[in-house]
Amino acid sequence: MMNYLGSLDPMTLVRALPGNVAQGLIWGIMAVGVYITFRILDFADLTVDGSLATGGAVAVMLIQGGMHPAVALIFAFLAGMIGGLATGLLHTALGIPGILASILTQISLYSVNLGIMGKANQSIGIGQKNLVASLRYVTADDSAFFFIKLIAGCLILVVITYWLFGTEIGSAIRATGCNEQMARAQGINTNFTKVVALMISNGLVGLCGGIYAQYQGAADVNSGRGAIVIGLAAVIISEVIFGKLCAGKRFTFAYTLSAIFVGAILYYIAYTLVLWLRMPSDYMKLFSAIVVACFLAVPYLKEKYASKRRRAVR
């Protein structure tokens, strides 16, 4: 045991921290998209695993064609929106249950992504100029400037999302997720709001895919596999840890969106910690699922314990 502990180098964790923060901020964009469907719309959307890879595929192929990396992200966002549109139409126009509609879209996007790239993966290299995000920025001499830009971009996204869900269409989406029957009774076209919410959500996921593909210098058809678990982990971790801090404040929704990015960073730190402890990498997906399950269970167990205490007092 002492030999095992002595072989662990704490500095390895410290050196990995900038990369954890960068990945957490990037994947936090996807987590915001998951939050929109999972919490606001109350829709189980598994399109994420496909639309993230689509965003990456579109961005990489456009960059290879000579497009500026920042402009390519616009098309990555639009590609993700198309994936959300497909899920929305399958659900609203054809009456397919939401989770099945998203699975059908996710499966279809695998073939679409292969068609976009022509093969299983395409590379642009982390040495490409003008990339929005790149692994080489993390260790560069001016890495602080990169993180400032990344954090600023995430804050701008929070502001835009906060503004959007304060508009009429945003309020209609929130009403649909809260009580669909009541929303319909108030004259809201709930089918339309569902489609719009799914498009916004998967647009953000596609944007994340485009940024992450630039970060790692390549796009892969399997890059989105398990993305929904990471998104849920970031959302649930942020709610469990920061839920009470955000509750009751004037800008509660903005605090919640910001906390999601922190939740994503904490997830990646925990992920790195497990690797640092030399746990078998083959079980990392199992670890992710266990983390999500544990944090999902915390609110229920706390409420159950609190109700028992209330009954005991009576």
Check residue 32 and give its pLDDT: 96
Question: φ, ψ for residue 95 (rounded to 5)?
Answer: 75, 20
Q: What is the 3-state secondary structure (H, E, C) of 11-63?
A: HHHHHHHHHHHHHHHHHHHHHHHHHHHHHHCCCCCCCHHHHHHHHHHHHHHHH
Q: Which of 268, 229, 252 is nearest to 34 (CA)?
A: 229
314 residues of the chain, pLDDT tens digit each: 566 556 667 777 778 888 899 999 999 999 999 999 999 999 989 999 999 999 999 999 999 999 999 999 999 999 999 999 999 999 999 999 999 999 999 999 999 999 999 998 999 877 778 899 988 888 887 788 899 999 999 999 999 999 999 999 999 999 999 999 999 999 999 999 999 999 999 999 999 999 999 999 999 999 888 888 889 889 988 888 887 766 666 678 889 999 999 999 998 888 888 877 777 777 777 777 787 788 778 777 877 887 888 787 76
Q: Measure the CA–CA gap between 246 and 27, rounded to whole angstroms.
A: 21
Residues across the chain: 314
Contact present, 234 and 292 (Cβ < 8 Å): no
Q: Measure the CA–CA gap between 263 and 232, rounded to whole angstroms.
A: 10
39-62: buried (b, 16+ CB within 10 Å) or exposed (e) per residue? bbbebebbbbbbbbbbbbbbbbbb
pTM for the whole thing? 0.91
Contact present, 228 and 48 (Cβ < 8 Å): yes
